[in-house]
Amino acid sequence: MQKLRNLLSIVILTFNRASELRSTLQQLFSLPETPDIVIVDNASTDDTAEMVSREFPQATLIRLRQNIGAAARNFGVRAVQTRYVAFCDDDSWWAAGSLERAVDILDGHPRVAAICARILLGTDNREDPICRILAESPLPSDGLPGRSLLGFIACATVVRREPYLAAGGYEQKFFVGGEEELLSLDLVSNGWRVVYIPEMTVHHHPSPQRDNPGRQIIVIRNALWVSWLRLPLRNALRETLRTCRSAKNRRILFKALGNAAKELPWVFRRRKVLAPETLALYRLLRH
């Protein structure tokens, strides 16, 4: 257990969900392994800060002045000194034994930068449908401890701290919604690997607010940005058309296209095509 504390910390992202955060912290502090926990509060206006200070003084609380979405996790990662970081949201927590397993895998596979766990949803612990997609990844996995991936789920991932920071962490412009893809592509393009380990488990009780139209706009916008930021022009055009065709709501699509287009100067300044090996993996997933 002491080994775990020395090697891994937990970073929790939260915003205006004091009640859900309380439940998550109760679950995490009941684990037999008790790593340090850092909570990054995205400028909540409820009683989140007071609740944490009163009920969980052993946790570290970082309060941001504005809500910057997923990029708030970067503050938590910079604040810890451990080699590995496990992420949670305020509505998710790690099952007993999973973090020890993560440390063993990362210790034994020095080119793995991120591990995505199996996700169980709600009180009935049904498996998230994304898990089957991850488990059936067609990417070459020789020599890796699990299926090779080009993406992960933020609230169910353990990362190696240094590669995460070297890749820039989460991009603030992406806010929340499909923000993981750019980071995972950059990790792999930098020579690292991302894997799925179903023996590790995260419990997730997602809020219904996640499916609101505003979030759907962000998800589409971010998918467009990933294509424009990292793919050769022909592939970027193909993925743009694919994203547009898959959108079920034309009104939401047009808003997403408009929002994405407003940042084209930033896109072209930050554009960096993936390394050839990573691009080959990306094309394998898309065909």
Identify the weakest region by mean pLDDT among 5-9, 146-150, 237-241.
5-9
Q: Which two tokens stand for residue 55?
A: 């009920």
- Asked if residue 273 and residue 135 are part of one domain, the reply reads no
Question: pLDDT band at residue 2, thresholds of 50, 70 and 90?
Answer: low
Last residue of a domain, one of 190, 209, 228: 209
CA angle 240, 213, 251 (to 5 degrees): 55
Q: Is the pLDDT of residue 287 over 60?
A: yes
For residue 43, the model assigns a pLDDT of 97
Contacts of 9 (CB under 8 A, 6+ apart): 35, 36, 37, 38, 80, 82, 84, 85, 86
pLDDT at 191 over 60: yes
pLDDT at residue 210 in the model: 53
β-pair partners for 78: none
- Residues 154, 272 within the same domain: no
Q: What percent of the chain stands above pLDDT 90?
A: 93
Percent of the chain predicted with pLDDT > 70: 98
- How many C-beta atoms surround the C-beta of residue 88 within 10 A? 27
Residues 232 and 202 in one domain: no
Q: What is the mean pLDDT of residues 133-149?
A: 97
| Backbone phi and psi for residue 87, each to the nearest 5 degrees, phi listed first | -100, 145
SS (H, E, C) 10-23: EEEEECCCHHHHHH
Question: Quick one: 197 and 225 in the same domain?
Answer: no
Considering its fold, how many domains does the chain have in total? 2
Judge whether residue 33 has pLDDT over 90. Answer: no
Domain end (from 209, 237, 272): 209
Domain that holds residue 219: 212-286
Render pLDDT for 201-241 as a digit per residue (tens, 0 to 9).
Answer: 999 998 765 557 799 999 999 999 999 999 999 999 999 99
In this structure, the answer to whether residues 186 and 237 fall within a common structural domain is no
Q: What is the mean pLDDT of residues 96-116?
A: 97
Tell me the pLDDT band of 1, cut-offs 50, 70 and 90: low
Over residues 176-189, the mean pLDDT reads 97
Shared domain check, 147 and 7: yes
Task: Tell me the CA distances in angstroms from 174 to 70, 185, 222, one per residue in order.
Answer: 8, 15, 6
Asked if residue 261 and residue 178 are part of one domain, the reply reads no
CATH of the domain at 175: 3.90.550.10
Whole-angstrom distance, CA of residue 55 vs CA of residue 20: 14
Sort 63 into a burial class: Cβ within 10 Å, 0-12 / 13-18 / 19+.
middle
